[in-house]
Amino acid sequence: MFKEHQTKISQWARRSPDNFGRVMQFVILTIRMPLHRVAGDFETVEQGGDDAMGVLFGFKYRAWREAWEQREKLFTYLEHVWSDPELTARDKHMDMLEAVADCFGFGPVKAGFVLQLVYGNSGCIDTHNLKRFGIGLRAFSNYSGKKTRKGRRAMLSRYVDTIERQGGPEKLWDGWCEFVAQNSPGPYQGSAYVVSRTHCDALGL
């Protein structure tokens, strides 16, 4: 599932800053919302009006707007880090994760999701995965509340360690899809493959 659907998303997302920005916005729409709702929420936001503000509730409106405004600068930086031959895989992961996590509304979890989708080098340790792995629900919260960069980097390092301990991006993706299919079978026909494909469907791929 990961090999098919993540690869498809990555190839599309890395073609342009606009496509990358679309992935950022997709991730924002997944916050506190089931995956199967995201395609419809994209349409609602694009239509505008009061319904759009109902989708972009709370901090989501600012996060949506700033993600689009920053897409070119952020995409250029991530591509530079990704292609730097002098950096280790972990250093790349840390630097890229920090760049996205520092964007308003993201933090480690949603930054990891962005990188998982676009570069396949991270993962989304969301509420489902925290419960699956027996990790405290607040383990990676309050990132923006850390007063120093050292404190934020320490949390990011723990996040990267967690992804590595749980088998890496592909195992996280496929395991999450299986978990969601088992626990919310209706929208996905009880199929982990359908859950995985829904990421592509929401992006119109």
- Residue 85 binned pLDDT confidence (cut-offs 50, 70, 90): very high
**Range 161-196 burial, b when 16+ CB lie within 10 A, else e:** ebbeebebbeebbbbbbbbbbeeeeeebeeebbbbb
DSSP alpha helix (H) spans, 31-184: 38-47, 50-55, 60-69, 71-82, 89-101, 107-118, 127-133, 149-165, 169-183
Cβ neighbours of 199 (radius 10 Å): 24
**Domain boundary assignment for the chain:** 2-202
Q: Which two tokens stand for residue 59?
A: 């901090």
Mean pLDDT of the chain: 94
Which pLDDT score, from 0 to 100, does residue 2 have?
96
Residues 5-21 have a mean pLDDT of 98
pTM score, whole prediction: 0.95
- Residue 47 binned pLDDT confidence (cut-offs 50, 70, 90): confident
Burial of 35 (0-12, 13-18, 19+ CB in 10 A): buried
